[in-house]
Amino acid sequence: MRPPRLCWGRRQPAVPNSNSTPTNRLRRVLFAGGGTGGHVFMAVALAQELKRRDPGCEVLFVGTRQGLEARLVEPLGFRLETVKIGGLNRVEVTKAVVTLARLPFTVLQGARIADRFSPSVIVGVGGYSSGPVVLGGKLAGYPSILIEPNAYPGLANRLLARWVDGAAVAFEEAAGRFGAKARLTGIPIRREFFSINSAVADDGALRLLVFGGSQGSRPINTLMCEAIKWLPEARVEIVHQTGKADHERVKSAYSELGRKADVVEFIHEMPQLFARSDLIVSRAGASTVAELTAAARPCILIPFPEAADDHQRRNALALEKRHAAVVLEQAKTTGKELAETILRLADNREELRQMSAASKQLARPDSVEKILDLMSEVAASEANESHG
């Protein structure tokens, strides 16, 4: 039995005719969620492909003012609306209570936004706003799917599993949580990552990119500040994305050692930086891993040890098992050990090329297409049911 839905003032979607293609069934798409780059860029990848295929498709993002979407979405040409909601994981009790008290209002806000926009489908991409907006839209009668990039779904997606019409999962382990609604698709990432030249430079200084996710990682920053003592400029060129909070501290550490490097708060054109890098040091979030494999970049992964259900360590070990990455544990790694690992790879370009080839085998270039197909099927099924 399908969950009940509360439909008020809803504009009925058009029934697709027999000549309609999967893309033109998606006249209006609402992406709910954000917060971190991983969530935002999954939605951006899908939105850009929708607009590429059908310039007339209307796209709306719904997130929060505090999330990365507030900085990224509108400059990319998409409309953004915001809701008020916070997180529940690893927050003070008082903040959690405020979030729980606000939740019903955010669900109602999501329903009203959905009614104004009348989407063909709502796509939940994770983050604070995803759950309440997807639920609100579903209660208002609009079809919805979730994107689950991790092997073990988060709490919000587990709770929403019975309500949504479909789920795009990246790992078979996650499929069981959604039953027949699950579709194994991979993780949607921007097209540019797949067009990167995977060649590793034969000689010269190793081009190293260091980043800890869209918000930066203080532990990785600290490791690199120590590691640069053993990384001569002649052997390693560094681009280091620190995040806003840690930028001045890291920049000062490089400066005090007289070490030249490109130290930045945030990287807007990540595909271009990937293309210029021989080796990447990063966390192991699902979207990051998908981008690394799409670009066939050799990498040193330092998983975030407090990630929910330890999913970053699982992601990292999956790559290491296939010889596509080297994994270092944050708590057991010193700056000197990180430097030694970087220099070992800098001196063995053949190993880097083998890692690149192994990484490329793990890429899912059809992930965006598969998710768009699922979105279209859900939208068409709901439209036919509404007019049946």
Q: What is the 3-state secondary structure (H, E, C) of the chain?
A: CCCCCCCCCCCCCCCCCCCCCCHHHCCEEEEECCCCHHHHHHHHHHHHHHHHHCCCCEEEEEECCCCCHHHHCHHHCCEEEECCCCCCCCCCHHHHHHHHHHHHHHHHHHHHHHHHHCCCEEEECCCCCHHHHHHHHHHCCCCEEEEECCCCCCHHHHHHCCCCCEEEECCHHHHCCCHHHEEECCCCCCHHHHHCCCCCCCCCCEEEEEECCCCCCHHHHHHHHHHHHHCCCCCEEEEEECCCCCHHHHHHHHHHCCCCCEEECCCCCHHHHHHCCCEEEECCCHHHHHHHHHHCCCEEECCCCCCHHHHHHHHHHHHHHCCCEEECCHHHCCHHHHHHHHHHHHCCHHHHHHHHHHHHHCCCCCHHHHHHHHHHHHHHHHHHHHCC
Name the residue with tokens 């790559």: 319
Cβ atoms of 160 and 135 closer than 8 Å: yes
**Which residue, among 205, 172, 189, has the nearest Cα to 290 in the 3D structure?**
189
Taking each helix axis as running N to C, give the angle between helix 37-53 and helix 286-295, from 0 to 180 degrees, rounded to the nearest 10. 50
Q: Where are the domains of the chain?
A: 23-187+365-386, 193-361
Hey, which residues does 166 pair with through a beta bridge?
A: 145
Name the residue with tokens 């640069």: 228
The two structure tokens encoding residue 260? 């030249």
**Tell me, what's the pLDDT at 92?**
60
Backbone angles phi, psi at 85, to 5 degrees: -165, 145
Q: Do domains 23-187+365-386 and 193-361 have the same CATH topology?
A: yes
Chosen CATH of 193-361 out of 3.10.310.10, 1.10.287.3510, 3.40.50.300, 3.40.50.2000: 3.40.50.2000
- In CATH, what class is 23-187+365-386? alpha beta
What is the reported pTM?
A: 0.78
Tens-digit pLDDT profile for residues 172-195 = 888 998 999 999 999 999 889 998
Q: Please measure the distance between the N-terminal and C-terminal CA atoms of the chain and give it in whole angstroms.
A: 18
Question: CA-to-CA distance for 277 and 269, rounded, in angstroms?
Answer: 13
Per-residue pLDDT 10s for the chain (388 aa) are 444 445 544 444 444 444 445 556 899 999 999 887 788 989 999 999 999 999 999 999 999 888 888 888 999 999 999 998 765 555 566 666 666 677 788 899 999 999 999 999 999 998 888 999 999 999 999 999 999 988 778 888 998 999 999 999 988 888 998 999 999 999 999 889 998 887 888 889 999 999 998 788 999 999 999 999 999 999 999 999 999 899 999 999 999 999 999 999 988 889 999 999 999 999 999 889 999 999 999 999 999 998 877 889 988 998 999 999 999 999 999 999 999 999 999 999 999 999 999 999 989 899 999 999 999 999 998 766 665 5
